[in-house]
Each structure stands twice: as structure tokens, then as C-alpha cells.
Structure 1
Amino acid sequence: MDKQEQHALVVECRASGMTAKAWCQAKDIEYSQYLNWARRVNREKQHALQQWANVTIEKEKCIQGEIRLSCGKWTICVESGFSPALLADVLRVVDGVC
């Protein structure tokens, strides 16, 4: 069975509304084999979701103690004493938009 067939079976199982174990029993598929297929599908999906962007630090435009991150039309200024949690939230939002 090739990767495309395995992927199709994982998609079918997930759409069935059944537990993976019950679906495998109904289809006479080894549950451990299904888990291997599902892990590979998950890894491929994660790999496909990863995107890289060119980010530059604009040193000449920075005020002392400030960092500017630029990506396309976006510029994020981070000053000393920034909130790491806030920066993480901002980057998640920008990642969702870009």
C-alpha cells in the first residue's frame, strides 16, 4: 500500500466518527500500523504548515534599547522591558495574517 492510500485511510478514519481502534477493527487493519500512518500524516501536515519569512533587524532606525523586526509591510518595535508574553501574542497574530 502506498503513502497516498495510507493517507486516504487516515482521512477516512478521522471522518468516520468512530474511534481509531474501532475503525481499524471494522476495516481489518492492524491498529499499530494505522498509528504509524497517522503519525506520518501528522508530521507531513506540520511540515506543510511551517513557513519561513525574511525578517530583518533595522539597526539604523532603532532608538537605543529598541529592536525593530520587519517582515514585508510589517514592522514590530520592541523596547527594553517589553513583555515576552505580549510579543508572543503579537507574533501569533501576525503569523495568522501573513
Structure 2
Amino acid sequence: MNAKEQRRQDWHTRIAAYRASGLTMKAWCSANHCSVEQLKYWLYKIKRVSSSATPDPKTSPVQFVPLATVNPPGSVSPAPSLTFHIGEASIELHSGFDPMLLREVIHALTSPC
């Protein structure tokens, strides 16, 4: 780990300690021998890096993930259905659904107006 990465890691640790302390910025900085400006800088910098690493669900492409369900032995399986959400919309599917209709609905929900 180079010096820059080490400094970033040190500040991640310090920021976690600051947040857990419940102290004001001024009190925490005084107790931890740093300036309020340094703390504000690193709070901003780390927030900016972490927010850029988090994809925006409105602009990210739709990704499908495999699902597996397991029923405990002796349990009664409910009628097969699947509910998923796209934004504020919910879609509930039951066995025998029309895949072409689902495709059209998803396209309508994810396409810009």
C-alpha cells in the first residue's frame, strides 16, 4: 500500500471513529489533533468517492440475477408467483404469464418518456 492509499485508509478509520463518537466536529478534532477543515475535507472526499462507486439505479442498465428457492421438507408450496419492483412499479407474475407482455411492460417502465 502506498502512502496515498495509507492516508485514505487512515482517514476512513478516523471518520468512522468521529461518526461513532457523537461529538461535534470541533470537539472531536480537538481531541484527535486535527483541524475541522481537514475533517470536512476528508468527509467530502470519501463521500464523493463512495457515491461515485454506487451506481445510480435510474441510469444503470437492468441486470438479472439467478434465483433459487428452497422449501423446507414437509412444507406446502404456495402457488408459484414472483413479485419484483422497477422504480415505484410492482409486477406480480403467476405461472402461465405471457413472456411477451412482460417484456413490453419492462420496456415501457425502463424507457425514457
Letter in 1 for 2:17: E
Structure with higher Rg: it is 2
Which position in structure 1 is the counterpart of 2:53?
48
> Which residue of structure 2 lines up, in the alignment, with residue 76 of structure 1?
109
Q: Distance in 1 between matches of 2:26 and 2:54?
A: 27
Q: Which has the higher helix share?
A: 1
Distance change >3 Å, CA 77–CA 28, structure 1 → 2: closer
Q: 2:15 aligns with which of 10, 13, 38?
A: 10
Q: TM-score, normalised by structure 2?
A: 0.46
Report the identity percentage: 25
Aligned residue pairs total 66
Give the TM-score normalised by structure 1.
0.53
Q: Which residue number in structure 2 is paired with residue 33 of structure 1?
A: 38
List, as ranges, runs of 4+ consecutive aligned residues in structure 1 with deviation greater than 3 Å: none
Structure 2 unpaired stretches of 5+: 1-5, 64-99
Output the aligned Cα RMSD. 3.2
What SS does structure 2 have at the residue aligned with 1:43?
helix
Paired amino acid for 2:15: V
User: C-alpha distance in 1, partners of 2:11/2:25?
Assistant: 14
